Each structure stands twice: as C-alpha cells, then as structure tokens.
Amino acid sequence: MPPVAPRSGDAIFTSVERVNAELFTLTYGAIVRQLLTDLEEVDEVNKQLDQMGYNIGIRLIDEFLAKSNVSRCVDFKETAEVIAKVGFKMFLGVTATVTNWDADGTTCSLVLEDNPLVDFVELPDTCQGLYYCNILSGVIRGALEMVSMKTEVTWIRDMLRGDDAFEMQVKLLKQVPEEYPYKDDE
Amino acid sequence: MPPVAPRSGDAIFTSVERVNAELFTLTYGAIVRQLLTDLEEVDEVNKQLDQMGYNIGIRLIDEFLAKSNVSRCVDFKETAEVIAKVGFKMFLGVTATVTNWDADGTTCSLVLEDNPLVDFVELPDTCQGLYYCNILSGVIRGALEMVSMKTEVTWIRDMLRGDDAFEMQVKLLKQVPEEYPYKDDE
C-alpha cells in the first residue's frame, strides 16, 4: 500500500471539530487578565503563559500527528514549514511564513500577519512588558520537544507593541534521541 | 423591506471564524489547572471561573446579536430556546435542550449531552468540589445581564461528577429596565 499523503492544513482545518474564534479569543483574554491580577508581575505572567503553552503543546502534538498524516520531517527546515503551513492552519485557521534562516539552518522566524489571539486586544500602559501571545511560543516549544527537538522560542516582533507583524524566532538547541513521547505524569 | 430573518445556529457556526476545538479544550484546561495552583481553594476557583465567564458573556452577546439577527425575544421561554439552539451552536458547535420549566416560566434547565470543554478531562479526587464548566454558567449570566435579564445559573448535573449529562438551571431573578448595554470601563 502506498504511504498516506500528508493532508493540507486547509483540509484538516475543515474536517476537525471547531469552536467560535471569538469565544477562544475572549477566553484567552480572560486568562491573561486573570494572570495579571493574580501574579502582578508582567515577567511572571510571561513565564506562566509560556508554561501553559508548553503543557498544551506536549498534548496537541498527538492530535497534530494523528490528523495531519505528517510523518518524520527530514530536517528542521521541513519541520518549520510544516508548523507554519499545517500546524498553524490546523489549530488557529491561519498560516505563518517561515523566514530569516541563519546560515546553519538551525534558527528561523515564523511570521504571522493574522493572529486570532489578539482580535480586539489593546494593552494598557501598565502591561508594556507583556508578551501577550507567549502561550503560542510555549505550544511550539512543547510540541517540538515531543518530537525530540529542544528549542528556544522568542518574540522578535509583536503587533501589540506596534510592530507590523508577529514574529517568533525558533532556535533549535539540540535534537535529543527519540524517546517514547509520553510522560507518565501527564 | 421585510425584517431580516434570524439565522440558524448551524448557518452562523459555518460562517464565523473558528479555531480547533481541541486547542480550545486544552487551553481551557490550562486555565483551570492554573487557577487551582494559584488559588488553592476549589470554591475560589469556581468563583473565578464564573467571573471570567461573566466578563466573556458581557462581550460575547455583541457578537451574538450582530451575527444571529436575533431580535428581542418575547419572553424568557423564547430566550432560553435561543440560547440553547442558536447560542450554544454558534459558539461551541453543540446544541442544548431546554427542559424542567417551573410553573411561572421563570426557571428552566439547559441540558448538554455533548460538551467540548470536557473532552479528555478527568478530575482528580482533590478537585471533587470543582465545577469545571463554571465558565459556561458565567457566560450565560453575563450575556443575559446585557439584555436586561438578571439570572442565577447553577449546575444541577455534571458528567465530570458522574452524572449522565450537564444540566444548568437558569433562574430569572428580574428583568431590569433596558439600558445602553456597554459599560465605559469594559
């Protein structure tokens, strides 16, 4: 039997169960507001959003692999393209652009022009240090760790800070030997 | 010109922007876990989820009215049906059943057999008092308050507690005079 072809992000997005984007956006906004109230320090909120994203990412990767028919990527370049074109589309309904590769092929940027997380969001002056979308970078870090790639994900551009797009830099730190991807305590 | 007919929940759900339901479910799970860690007391978490839902509901009602073409409901009975058939469908992709009306027509139940919020969720023994879906009751309370109905919403059945469905009791406390539905500080 020939191998099953990977499915496009569009095809998957159409076929999976979905909820209203505005509900998601407002729910996410409610989390951020809650964390700002509970934790007070913006840096702590950034850390917490990243950790929440990580916890989501290590589970979402299962759904991604199950629904997308994507098999092992040959290298980090292919991985980045798959995240941008299939992963983002499948979960958020938008696609990202991969750009700004370094010479080694171990660092690149994912650029989002459209980001459902920030619809209707404006940051007050008191939140200037906040990385509002830090959950996204956490999700990517968590998901990649489950397929043996340790990465560091940092925000380079942020429309809520006045930039013209969202840009995350993804840096491959090391490729760890493949292990059984589930942790007993998760 | 004839009045625009209200749109069905299905039609609206197909036309609005959506995100992957699993991402929403896991994100919501991450909120609840976060609140349990930060607040420790289950009662406090219930209160906080309800408040977050309320804050979401008072904004979501705008999207609902804008997209659904639903105009003023003639009475609370019609309101309950609209929430169950149009509101739930539009935001969560599922419908609820309205049942258990009292003689006055001021109290009823909304019953959900399918609830995307709780996919993959199991509560540990330490969370037995938790109303995991309390955000939903808060959303309904908040949304109804914006259309001049003060309600009390309580959980009667909860599948995470071993019941055979989710059942919320919605009690109309009073119908307040119509006011401009936006608050300056929101």
Which chain A residues touch B22 with a CB distance below 8 Å?
16-17, 60, 63, 91
Distance from CA of A1 to the nearest CA of B (A): 31
> Could B22 and A17 be called an inter-chain contact, meaning their C-beta atoms sit closer than 8 Å?
yes
Task: Pick B20's closest partner by Cβ from A22, A31, A90.
Answer: A90
Asked if A16's CB is within 8 angstroms of B91's CB, the reply is no
* pLDDT in the model for residue A57: 95
Interface of B with A (CB under 8 A): 13, 16-24, 26-28, 30-31, 33-35, 38-39, 48, 52, 55-56, 59-60, 63, 90-93, 116, 135
pLDDT tens digit sequence for A15-36: 777 888 889 999 999 889 988 9
Alpha-helix residue ranges (DSSP H) falling in A87-167:
88-92, 134-146
Give percent above pLDDT 70 in chain A: 91
Q: Which of A18, A34, A120 sits opposite B48 (nearest CB)?
A: A34
Question: Do A81 and A25 form a contact (C-beta atoms < 8 A)?
Answer: no
CB contact under 8 A, A22 and B135: no
- Provide the pLDDT confidence category of residue A40 given band limits of 50, 70 and 90: confident
Can you tell me the distance from the alpha carbon of A114 to that of A124, in angstroms, rounded to the nearest whole number?
A: 21
Determine whether the interchain pair B60/A23 forms a contact, defined as Cβ–Cβ distance below 8 Å.
Answer: yes
Q: Band of the pLDDT at A186, cuts 50, 70, 90?
A: very low
| Over residues A41-56, mean pLDDT | 94
B110 vs A37, more confident: B110
Rg of chain A's alpha carbons, rounded to an integer? 17
Nearest to B91 among A13, A19, A60 (CB): A19
Query: What's the CA gap between B42 and A139, in Å, rounded?
Result: 27
- CB atoms A19 and B116 under 8 Å: yes
Half-sphere exposure of A38 (CA within 13 A, CB side): 22
Global confidence as pTM: 0.83
Q: Worst-scoring range by mean pLDDT, A76-80, B47-51, B180-184?
A: B180-184
- pLDDT tens figures, A85-115: 999 998 999 999 999 999 999 999 999 999 9
Q: Strand, helix or coil at A167?
A: strand
